[in-house]
A and B are shown apart, each in its own frame.
Chain A
């Protein structure tokens, strides 16, 4: 199956700093990528849809100025958590869509801990 990578896999940062998470489709081009967040013992919640070459579409309740998404190429989307706070500590997972009719391929996730 298709492979999606995320970097870093784990990050610890101080409150107020910004953190960038990369999501790459390694062996296919993904016009659409998705960003999810998962709090402990809860389900994945869709944060935003990232389309190559256009602005991301954010779900209700997700602050676009805080969670900056850039989908600069067909194989890379980045999520930047700006001015991170402890409540932003979570597991962030991206997924990539190969084509319509295909399932989403998930990255391994990034665990963010904000101190």
Chain B
């Protein structure tokens, strides 16, 4: 059974701080790891990672994958109150045939205080 564990489960920091969110996983046939940001409604896509050691960046957010140690981190620098959300990590298995659904972690609830 595929498994995704995120840590910490919740985190409170001050505006301007840098945060690192962790995601470890177990999956039978790994295809990709994805990060999502969830506010009030459905998750919004942040990153898709398929290769080890290649950092993906989008503004103040960046993420990297380690396929040997089976984990990924999501970094947010110079945090803003708008970054407050639940950050979800998910893995997509490779089925070889049709598409597969994602297995999500429980998320990290990030709160940025002004």
Contact = CB atoms under 8 A, between A and B. Distances in A.
The interface centre, meaning the residue of A43, A49, A59, A109 with most chain B CB atoms within 10 A of its CB, is A43
A97 B99 contact: yes
B88 interface: yes
Nearest to A97: B99
Contact of A49 (B42, B90, B98): B98
Q: Interface extent on A, as a size class?
A: 20 to 34
A103 B34 contact: yes
Contacts, number: 46
Interface in A34-79: 34, 36, 42-46, 49, 51, 59
Q: Is the interface of A mostly helix, strand, loop or mixed?
A: strand
Q: Is the interface of B mostly helix, strand, loop or mixed?
A: loop
A43 B104 contact: yes
B7 interface: no
Nearest to B90: A44
A5 B88 CA distance: 21
A36 B100 CA distance: 12
B43 A106 contact: yes
A51 B98 contact: yes
Contacts of B106: 42-43
Nearest to A30: B99
Given A43-B106, A45-B104, A51-B98, 9 more contacts: A32-B99, A34-B102, A43-B104, A44-B102, A46-B102, A49-B101, A93-B43, A100-B99, A106-B43
Interface of B: 34, 36, 41-45, 48, 88, 90, 98-107
